[in-house]
Structure 1
Amino acid sequence: MIPVQGYDGRKVAVLGLGRSGLATARALQAGGAEPVLWDDSPEARARAEAEGFACTDLGRDAAWQGVVLLVTSPGIPHLYPAPNRHIARAMALGVPVDNDIGLFFRSWAVADWQDFDLVPKVVAVTGSNGKSTTTALIHHILQVIGRPTQMAGNIGRGVLDLDPATDGEVVVLELSSYQTDLARALTPDVAVFTNLSPDHLGRHGGMGGYFAAKRRLFAEGGPDRAVIGVDEPEGVYLANQMAEGPADDRVIRISAGQKLEGEGWTVFARKGFLAEWRKGKQVAAIDLRAIQGLPGAHNHQNACAAYAACRSLGLPPRLIEQALTSFAGLPHRSQTIASRGGVRFVNDSKATNVDSAAKALQAFPRIRWIAGGLGKEGGIGGLVPFLGSVTKAYLIGHSARDFALEIGTTPHEICETMEAAVTRAATEAEPGDTVLLAPAAASFDQYPDFEKRGEHFAALVAALPDHAG
C-alpha cells in the first residue's frame, strides 16, 4: 500500500467504492487522513462497511463539513455529459476534486529514497488501443531482465495498492483517459502515447476533449522521455509540441508501417521488422514475425512502444529482444488459445470497437470471424475495407442482424449465441484458417464484460471434439 501524504488529520471524501475507491480509502487511512466514504449503491457501501469503514451520504450538506478534498472513481463523470451531483456539489463548495492517480503521484516518493543507489521510476502508458499490451510488455521485459517492477492502474492492481518502492524499481502504469483527465498530479518519468481513435466521446465532449485528456499526461506531467505514436495526426502534433528541435531525443517517435525520418530518436516497424534509429543512423533491428504473442501490425506498434520505453530506461537492445520472444500476450487481446487440426483459435474479445477489430482482422490470413454483441454508435461499416481475409463471418448477439447488413458481400451466418458460432466456425474451418473472436461490439447484451465473453469463447474451444477443425 502507498499511504497518501499531505492529509494527516484532515477529512477527505471518497466517491465510488469499487476497486480503486476502497484502495483509496485504505491508503488515506494509512496516511492519517479521515476518509468520508460514499457510493450510491447499497451493495458497494456494504462492502466498505464490512471492512470497518463508515459511509456518509454526500447528498447531505452536513457531510461536507470540514472536507478538504473529494477523490472520485474514474468511472464517475465530472464534466460530460453532465457532472455527477456529488462532484458538482464539491465544485460548488470549492472542494478540490482528484482521483487515485493524482494521489499516487503526490505520495509515491518518500524520504527513504535518498538511501537508494538508483531512484525508482514510473512509466505511464496511455492511448486508445494497445495500452494494456504495451504496459504488460514493458513489465514483462523488466521482469525478464531482472529489474524490480510492479504494474498497476487500468490493468492489474489499483495504484495505491502498490507496494512501497524498492531500490531501482520501475512501476508501469496503464492510464485511461478517465484517469488522466482529472488527476491533479501527473509526473511520470517516461510517458507513452500509443495511438488515438474515437472512443468515449460522450464522456469527453467530443474528439478534442478525448485527445486533451490523453495529452495531459505529457503537457501536465513533463516526462523526462516521451514515447509517441505518430501514425495519426494527433500523435504528430503531440510529438511536435514536446520536442525542442529535430534532434531532441527526449521525444521518441514510433510507428507501425512507416519509416520515420529525421535526426531524432525513432523506433518503427515495417514488414515485421522493428528498427531503432538515432541521429540518422540505425542502431538496432529485431525480427518480430516469429513472436506468437505479438501478431499483426498493431502488436508491432505495441512492441515499438515498449522497446522505446525500455531503451529510454537504459536497457540494451539485445536483452529487450530476448524478452520480447517470451511474451505470451494478454488474455482476450489477439491471444492464441489453441491450435487444432491446423486451425488457430484467437481470442480478441477486447476488440470492442471498429478500430481494434480492424487491427485484428489485418493480423491473420483466412479468417473465420466471430463478431457481434451490443453494437456501438456508427456501426461497423468502417470494417468493410478490412474484410478481404474473412472467409466467413459468424454473427452473435443483439447487433447480429445489423452487422449482417453492414458487411456487404462477405459470407456470413447469424448464429445468435457464442455456442453456435464456435461450433459452426470450428466445423467449417480448414487447415490454415484462423477462428477469430473480434466482436467489434460491447459485451453487455450477453456478458457482464469482455473478459467473461473471452473466457466463454476459450471454454467452448477447449470443449470442442478432437475432430473439430
Structure 2
Amino acid sequence: MIPVQGFSGQKVAVLGLGRSGLATARALAAGGAEPCLWDDSPEARDNAAAQGFALTDLTRSDAWHGVAALIVSPGIPHLYPEPNKLIARAMEAGVPVDNDIGLFFRSWATPDWEKMERTPKVVAVTGSNGKSTTTALIHHILKEAGRPTQMAGNIGRGVLDIEPGQDGEVVVLELSSYQTELARALTPDIAVFTNLSPDHLDRHGGKGGYFAAKRRLFAEGGPDRAVIGVDEVEGRFLANQMAEGAADDRVIRISSGQKLDGEGWSVFARKGFLAEWRKGRQVAAIDLREVGGLPGAHNHQNACAAYAAARTLGLAPKEIEKALHSFAGLPHRSQLVGERGGVRFVNDSKATNVDSAAKALQAFPKIRWIAGGLGKDGGIAGLVPYLNSVVKAYLIGHSARDFALELGQTPHEICETMERAVARAAEEAEAGEVVLLAPAAASFDQYPNFEKRGEDFTALVQALP
C-alpha cells in the first residue's frame, strides 16, 4: 500500500466504493487522514460496510464541513455529459476534486529514496487501443530482464494498492482518459501514447476533449521521456509539442506502417520487422513475425511502444527481443484460445469499437467473424474497407440486425447468441481460417463486461467436439 501524503489529520471524502475507491480509503487512513466514504449505490455501500469501513452520507449538506478534498472513482462523470450531483456540490463548496492517480503521484516518492542507488521510476501508458497490452508487455520485459517491477492502474491492482518503491524498481501504469482527465498530479518518468480513435466522446464532450484528457499525461508534469505513436494527426501534434527540434531524443516516435528515419529517435514496424533508428541510422532490428503473443500490425505497434520504453530504461535490444518471444499476450486481446482441424479460434472481446475491430480484421487473411453486441454511435460503417478478409460474419446481440444492414455483400448470418455463433462458425470453417471474436460493440446487452463475453466464447470453443 502507498500511504497518502499531505492529508494527515484531515477529512477526505471518497466517492465511489469499487476496487479503486476502497483501496484509496485504506491508503488515506494509512497516511493519517480520516476518509469519509460514500457511493450512490446501496449495494456498494453495504459491501464497504461489510468490510469494516465507516460511511458518511455525502448527500447531507453538513457532511462537507471541514472536508479537505473529494477523491472520485474514474467511472463517475465530473464534467460531461453533466457532473455527478455530489461532485457539483464539492465544486460549489470549493473542495478540491482529485482521483487516486493524483494521490499516487503526490505520495509515491518518500524520504527512503535518498538511501537508494537507483530511484524508482514510473512508466505511464495511455491511448485508445493497445494500452493494456503495451503496459503488460513493458512489465513482462522488465521481469524477464530481472528488474523489480509492479503493474497497476487500469490493469491489475489499484495504484494505491501496490507496494512502496524498491531500489531500481519500475512501476508500469495503464491510465485511461477517465483517470488522466481529473488527476491533479501527473509526473511519470516515461509517458507513452499509443494512438487515438473516437471513444468515450459523451464523457469528454467530443474528440477534442478526449484527446485533451490523454494529452494531460504529457503536459501537466513533463515526463523525462515521451514515447508517442504518430500514425494519427493527434500523435504527430503531441510529438511536435513535446520536442524542441527534429533531433530531440527526449521524444521517441513510434509507428506501425511508416518508416521513421529522421534525425531523432524512432521505433517503427513494417512488414513484420521492428526497427530502431537514432540520428539518421538504424541501430537495431527484430523480426516480429514469429512472436506468437503479438499477432497483427496493431500488436506490432504495441511492441514498438514497449520496446521504446524498455530502451529508455537501459535494456539492450537482445534482452527485449528474448522477452517478446515469451510474452503470451493478454486475455481477450487477440488471444488464441483453441485450434481444431486447422482452424484457429481467436478471442478479441476487448475490440469494443470500430478502430480496435479494424485492427483485428487486418491481422488474419481468412476470417469467420463473430461481431455484435450493444453497438456504438456510427455502427460498423467504418469497417467496410476491412471486410475483404471476412469469409462470413456471424452476428450476435442487440445490434445484430443493424450490423447486417451495413455489411453490404459480405456473407453473414444473424445468430443472436454467442453459443449459436460459435457453433455455426466452427461448423463452416475450413483449415487455414480463423474464427475471430472482435465484436466492434459493447457487451452490456448480454454480458456484464467484455471479459465475461470473452470467457463465454473461450468456454464454447473449448467445449467443441
Matching of residues 317-336 of structure 1 within 5 Å: 317-336=317-336
Structure-1 residue corresponding to 2:97: 97
- SS of 1:90's equivalent in the other structure is helix
Q: Deviations over 1:147-198 (max 9, x none)?
A: 0000000001000000111110000000000000000000000000000000
**Aligned residues: CA RMSD:** 0.5
Residue identity in the other structure for 1:327: F
**Residue 82 of structure 1: CA displacement?**
0.4
Q: Deviations over 1:105-150 (max 9, x none)?
A: 0001111111111110000000000000000000000011110000
CA distance in 2 between partners of 1:192 and 1:178 (Å): 16
Residue identity in the other structure for 2:242: M
Q: Deviations over 1:273-324 (max 9, x none)?
A: 0000000010000000011110000000000000000001111100000000
- SS of 1:276's equivalent in the other structure is strand
CA distance in 2 between partners of 1:46 and 1:326 (Å): 43
Structure-2 residue corresponding to 1:316: 316
The answer to whether the 8 Å contact 2:367/2:434 transfers is yes
**Residue 454 of structure 1: CA displacement?**
0.1
Q: Give unmatched runs, 5+ long, in structure 1.
A: none
CA distance in 1 between partners of 2:202 and 2:58 (Å): 26
Q: Deviations over 1:22-53 (max 9, x none)?
A: 00000000000000010011111111112222
Structure-2 residue corresponding to 1:49: 49
CA distance in 1 between partners of 2:444 and 2:49 (Å): 29
Structure-1 residue corresponding to 2:179: 179
Structure-2 residue corresponding to 1:38: 38
**Percentage identity across aligned positions?**
82
Q: Which moved more, 1:42-51 or 1:420-429?
A: 42-51
CA distance in 2 between partners of 1:431 and 1:326 (Å): 27
Q: Which moved more, 1:170-179 or 1:57-66?
A: 57-66
Structure-1 residue corresponding to 2:268: 268
Q: Deviations over 1:374-421 (max 9, x none)?
A: 111110011010000100000011111111100100001111100000
- SS of 1:179's equivalent in the other structure is helix
- SS of 1:181's equivalent in the other structure is helix
The answer to whether the 8 Å contact 2:396/2:421 transfers is yes
- SS of 1:426's equivalent in the other structure is helix
Structure-2 residue corresponding to 1:159: 159
CA distance in 1 between partners of 2:46 and 2:4 (Å): 24
CA distance in 2 between partners of 1:208 and 1:415 (Å): 37
Query: So what's the TM-score if we normalise by structure 2?
Result: 1.00
CA distance in 1 between partners of 2:16 and 2:275 (Å): 44
CA distance in 2 between partners of 1:60 and 1:415 (Å): 50
The answer to whether the 8 Å contact 2:249/2:264 transfers is yes
CA distance in 1 between partners of 2:291 and 2:390 (Å): 23
Matching of residues 442-461 of structure 1 within 5 Å: 442-461=442-461
CA distance in 2 between partners of 1:425 and 1:49 (Å): 47
Asked if 1:5 is matched to 2:5, the reply is yes
Q: Deviations over 1:345-389 (max 9, x none)?
A: 000000000000000000001100000011111100110100001
Matching of residues 329-368 of structure 1 within 5 Å: 329-368=329-368
Q: Deviations over 1:229-278 (max 9, x none)?
A: 00000000000000011110000000000001310000000000000000
- SS of 1:254's equivalent in the other structure is strand
CA distance in 2 between partners of 1:429 and 1:136 (Å): 32
- SS of 1:244's equivalent in the other structure is coil
CA distance in 2 between partners of 1:93 and 1:77 (Å): 18
The answer to whether the 8 Å contact 2:293/2:329 transfers is yes
CA distance in 2 between partners of 1:353 and 1:262 (Å): 33
CA distance in 1 between partners of 2:449 and 2:253 (Å): 34
CA distance in 1 between partners of 2:421 and 2:75 (Å): 32
CA distance in 1 between partners of 2:68 and 2:8 (Å): 11
Where do 4+ consecutive residues of structure 1 move more than 2 Å?
none
- SS of 1:172's equivalent in the other structure is strand
Structure-2 residue corresponding to 1:374: 374
CA distance in 2 between partners of 1:322 and 1:14 (Å): 43
Structure-2 residue corresponding to 1:169: 169
- SS of 1:388's equivalent in the other structure is helix
Residue identity in the other structure for 1:93: A
- SS of 1:240's equivalent in the other structure is helix
CA distance in 1 between partners of 2:292 and 2:403 (Å): 30
Residue identity in the other structure for 1:352: T
The answer to whether the 8 Å contact 2:5/2:106 transfers is yes
Asked if 1:62 is matched to 2:62, the reply is yes
**Residue 433 of structure 1: CA displacement?**
0.4
Residue identity in the other structure for 2:314: G
Structure-2 residue corresponding to 1:246: 246
Residue identity in the other structure for 2:226: A
Structure-1 residue corresponding to 2:441: 441
CA distance in 1 between partners of 2:440 and 2:407 (Å): 12
Q: Give unmatched runs, 5+ long, in structure 2.
A: none
The answer to whether the 8 Å contact 2:227/2:308 transfers is yes
**Residue 54 of structure 1: CA displacement?**
1.3
**Residue 338 of structure 1: CA displacement?**
1.0
Structure-1 residue corresponding to 2:132: 132
Structure-2 residue corresponding to 1:427: 427
The answer to whether the 8 Å contact 2:352/2:441 transfers is yes
Structure-2 residue corresponding to 1:300: 300
Matching of residues 217-296 of structure 1 within 5 Å: 217-296=217-296
**Residue 221 of structure 1: CA displacement?**
2.1
Q: Deviations over 1:185-230 (max 9, x none)?
A: 0000000000000000000000110000000000112000000000
CA distance in 2 between partners of 1:322 and 1:188 (Å): 26
- SS of 2:69's equivalent in the other structure is strand
- SS of 2:394's equivalent in the other structure is strand
Q: Deviations over 1:3-22 (max 9, x none)?
A: 00010000000000000000
CA distance in 2 between partners of 1:385 and 1:92 (Å): 49
**Residue 331 of structure 1: CA displacement?**
0.1
Residue identity in the other structure for 1:226: A
Aligned length, in residue pairs: 465
- SS of 2:212's equivalent in the other structure is helix
Matching of residues 111-126 of structure 1 within 5 Å: 111-126=111-126
